[in-house]
Amino acid sequence: MKVLVLGGTGYVGSHLCAMLQGSGWATPVSASARRQAVGFESLRVDSRDPAALRAAMRGVDAVVNCVAGDAASIAGGAKALAQAALQEGCPRVVHLSSMSVYGAAEGRIDEMAPLDPTLGWYGRAKCEAERHVAALWQAGGTAVILRPGCVWGPGSQLWVGRIARWLRAGRLGDLGIAGDGWSNGVHVDDVCHAVMASLRVTEPGLQIYNLAAPDSPRWNDYFVDLALAIGAVPVRRIASRQLQLDAWLAGPPLKAAQLLLTRLGLGGHGVPDALPPGLLGLWERHLLLDASAATQGLGLQWTPYAASLRQCAAWFLRGQVDGAIRRTDEAQSDKHPTQV
């Protein structure tokens, strides 16, 4: 099976290409508008361009959409993908969505919960993207939509690298009630295994699965556990006011400085990580993804939280020793706190 991976140079996409390459039954084609992949067949493709997508799809058996970025890339890219897939007769599409489609909902949420695009531009774009993928199914195609929570694991700057740096700087720790929400963490390998299982779906139709490890902790537990694992001790208790000042007052200037230095070609690595205000709502939100359907329907065996934590801490500490910790993966990550 030949599989076109849109967003193939991103965090999830690059892991998926490696897993497909080693599967023995699938061959990945990495597609990205930004850069060429190393070690795989690679294409430069604007995912918002239907003509370019049609050309990239010729000869492939399935498409996996891992594209992140701005609203046009997410929603417009999904629309172009659906159009191109129908025109080229591509038999199946696996689309990576997000738990953000549930909006501000709280409680235990399964795939039957209604979509809510009111939380912000990212949630709106993800909801719109799902509608375009559903249109592909309604036209007779096969589509699987995966809704992961927070995708972490070794190499994740979004949920490991910058959080570890905040912990070491004393800007993050035990947040009290402000960190009592569920993390809905899912290991990047588990997301890739879900995609692999989805690629084997052959019956026409639409299937939707939440992805979150059943032992995923609350944010406070994760912060304390990661701090202990990387030696960021003592773990501080962070007052809500301090957190808000960091996010709302210090965050924008820090982000602006990092962007300016990057544009000047000086790199933004010397600037402390900005704390996006959107994370504050995420960390206290009591939404718990029910991923039992993925366990049963896709046969997933989730990576235990303790194993994920060990891997993440080891990756971060190794980077601190050899200087490899960088902020260049997921360049669009600060646009929204839960994108994959």
Averaged pLDDT score across all residues of the chain: 90
**Is the model more confident about 251 or about 96?**
96
Supply the pLDDT for residue 204: 77
The answer on pLDDT for 243 being more than 80 is: yes
Cβ pair 82, 206 in contact under 8 A: no
pTM: 0.92
Lowest-confidence range among 102-116, 132-146, 217-231, 238-252?
132-146
The most distant pair of C-alpha atoms in the chain lies apart, rounded to whole Å, by 59
Say yes or no to pLDDT of 165 above 60: yes
Compute the distance between CA of residue 185 and CA of residue 180 in angstroms, rounded to an integer: 14
Residues whose CB falls within 8 Å of the CB of residue 146, separated by 6 or more in sequence, listed in order: 94, 95, 96, 97, 191, 194, 195, 198, 208, 209, 211, 294
Residues 6+ apart with CB under 8 A from 22: none
List C-alpha distances in Å: 166 to 230, 264, 336.
12, 25, 18
62 close to 94: Cβ distance less than 8 angstroms: yes
What dihedral do alpha carbons 29, 98, 187, 145 form, nearest 10°? -50
The CB-side HSE value for 265 (13 A sphere, CA atoms) comes to: 0
Kindly report, residue by residue over 265-281, the tens digit of the pLDDT: 776 667 899 999 999 99
Distance between CA 253 and CA 274 in Å, rounded?
Answer: 8
Q: Which of 60, 38, 134 is closest to 95 using CA atoms? A: 134
Share of the chain above pLDDT 90, in %: 74
Tell me which architecture the domain covering 2-151+186-211 has in CATH.
3-Layer(aba) Sandwich (3.40)
Whether residue 168 has pLDDT greater than 80? yes
DSSP class of residue 99 equals: G
Half-sphere exposure of 128 (CA within 13 A, CB side): 18
Rounded to whole angstroms, how far apart are CA atoms 185 and 282?
A: 12
Q: Using one digit for the tens of pLDDT, what is the confidence trace for 118-156?
A: 989 999 999 999 999 998 888 877 899 999 999 999 999
Kindly indicate the confidence band of residue 56, based on its pLDDT and cuts at 50, 70 and 90: very high
- The pLDDT value recorded for residue 34 is 76
Give the distance, in angstroms, between the CA of residue 103 and the centroid of all CA atoms in the same chain. Answer: 16
Closest to 76 (Cα-Cα) out of 48, 109, 98? 48
Alpha-carbon distance of 17 to 53, in angstroms, equals 18
CA–CA separation, 258 and 45 (whole Å): 27
Contact 213, 187 (CB under 8 A): yes
Tens of pLDDT, residue by residue over 312-337, are 999 999 987 555 444 444 344 434 44
Our CA angle for 314, 316, 317, nearest 5°, is 65
Report domain extents, the chain. 2-151+186-211, 153-183+215-286+305-328
Confidence of residue 40 (pLDDT cuts 50, 70, 90): confident
What is the structure's pLDDT at 331?
A: 40
